[in-house]
Structure 1
Amino acid sequence: MGKIWVYMICIGIANSIIFGKLEDLNKIIISESARGIDFTISLIGIMALWMGVMNIAKESGLVDLIGKWLEPVIKFLFPKIIKSKEAVSFILMNMSLNILGASNGATAFGLKAMEKMQELNPNKSIASNEMIMFLVINMSSIQLVPITVLKIRLDEGAVNPSEIIFTTLFATAISTIVGIVSCKLMERSS
């Protein structure tokens, strides 16, 4: 992936030199990097809130309670890790934040879930079926409230930034179902 970014940057710089737009490129880099920083800072509060809420939910036992309700689903999706309360807890927190649209806040919990699943993985050099399933669900991620997209739409002056919620929910639900079915069909037996 790093090589692709290097190629894209080099091609962009070469094109700006060839077409005499190097000054425009410099202006865009400076202005857009400032916008990127502003956007990131504006999301920090939202992410901090959701991460705090999820940590409180974990400490209060709410995550364990939700885990009990979702045990049949978790057992179907991740059959070999159901006994690891820590892995299941991190998976639930990651999925909850993704569902609420705070995907950046979910990253820390996703990394911890992968660490715990790797500890349970008998073949450390190959991702387990459960790890692959988790990645697919994490990438497709059903979203009830796409916070980042709503924030972008609000910043860009959309009249009704929340009008995309139903469409986003439908699209992400379909992508998650297709991802789960595909993973189950292609699982390695071990």
Structure 2
Amino acid sequence: MVNKIWLALIIIGFAFAAIKGDINVVTQAAFDGAATGVTVCFGLISVLVFWLGIMRLAEDAGLVKTISRWLGPVVSYLFPDVPKNHPAMGYILTNMSANLLGLGNAATPMGIKAMQELQELNPDKETASPAMCTLLALNTASITLIPTTLIAIRLNFNSANPAEIVGSTLLATAVATTAAIVADRWYRHRDLRKKPPVAAPPPTLTLKR
């Protein structure tokens, strides 16, 4: 769907430029956008490498494992239908810990592995399970302590104080995570209420001699 939206925007832009006779403006804008994208990417490399190195040190020092232990009871509550000793729980904990530390590159593969493990537990392979929906919501709206990418972008565009967004980002992601958890709980309880009650087995008759 997103690809179709972008394709429609490009086609509409070219159509209006052709009607107005300014097709060269669109071509120039495309080249300028490509040049700006490359410049921004090169500006991000140094900052991202620095923060990823810091986070790797934190991971090697055991900080990620410590956060995973703290998150253990929370994850057990959020994923009641996943066994505690299942491999999916380890991937979920690592994914959430990486998101907390701003390690988006590390969080993505762990999230994918968690989804694959949750799919093994899913009885209906054609429909996402409640645990899979919970993981998707939490991964999308995860609390972020250090918004590394945003700080790098602000540095690249000569922000006077690139790290001033840390507080607002933490607040925004905390609100988003809370909303995701509330919505997830509501839908889980709604689905439980919709399930038909399990019929009791018929009584068996015994003949006394």
1:106 corresponds in structure 2 to 107
Q: Are 1:86 and 1:116, in contact at CA under 8 Å, matched by a contact in 2?
A: yes
Looking at structure 2, the residues matched to 181 and 107 of structure 1 have their Cα atoms a distance apart, in angstroms, of 23
Tell me if structure 2 keeps the 8 A contact 1:102–1:146: no
Unaligned 5+ segments in structure 2 are 196-209
2:91·2:110 contact (CA, 8 Å) conserved in 1?
A: yes
RMSD of aligned alpha carbons: 2.8
Residue pairs, 1:33-182, within 5 angstroms: 33-40=34-41, 42-43=43-44, 46=48, 50=52, 57=59, 66-182=67-183
- Whether contact under 8 Å (1:63, 1:93) holds in the other structure is yes
Task: State the TM-score, normalized to the length of structure 2.
Answer: 0.77
Instruction: Report whether the alignment pairs 1:13 with 2:5.
Output: no
What is the CA distance between 1:105 and its match in structure 2?
4.0
Distance across 1 between alignment mates of 2:90 and 2:49: 19
Structure-2 change in CA distance of 1:66 and 1:147 (3 Å):
closer
1:142–1:172 contact (8 Å) kept in structure 2: yes
What is the CA distance between 1:101 and its match in structure 2?
2.5
Aligned partner letter, 1:83: K
**Equivalent residue for 2:199?**
none
Unaligned runs of 5+ in 1: none
Per the alignment, residue 203 of structure 2 pairs with none
| Counterpart position of 1:26 | 27
With over 3 angstroms needed to count, the CA separation of the structure-2 counterparts of 1:169 and 1:72, relative to structure 1, is same
Indicate the SS of the match to 2:171. helix
Question: 1:123-178: CA deviations, max 9, x gaps?
Answer: 11111111111111111111111111111111111100111111111111011101
Task: Quickly say closer, same or farther: Cα 1:53–1:84, change in 2 above 3 A.
Answer: farther
TM-score, normalized by length of structure 1? Answer: 0.84
How far, CA to CA, are the matches of 1:73 and 1:80 in structure 2? 13
In 1, Cα distance between equivalents of 2:57 and 2:107: 11
Q: Distance in 2 between matches of 1:47 and 1:68?
A: 27
Mapped to 2, the partners of 1:11 and 1:104 lie a distance apart of: 34
Answer whether contact 2:17 2:26 (CA < 8 A) is retained.
Answer: yes
Count residues in correspondence.
189
Q: Distance in 2 between matches of 1:167 and 1:145?
A: 11
Greater CA drift, 89-98 or 166-175: 89-98
- Partners of 2:136 and 2:31 in 1: CA distance: 34
Specify the alignment match of 2:206 in structure 1: none
Per-residue Cα deviation, 1:49-94 (whole angstroms, up to 9, x for no partner): 749956994x997755543432210111111224354212222222
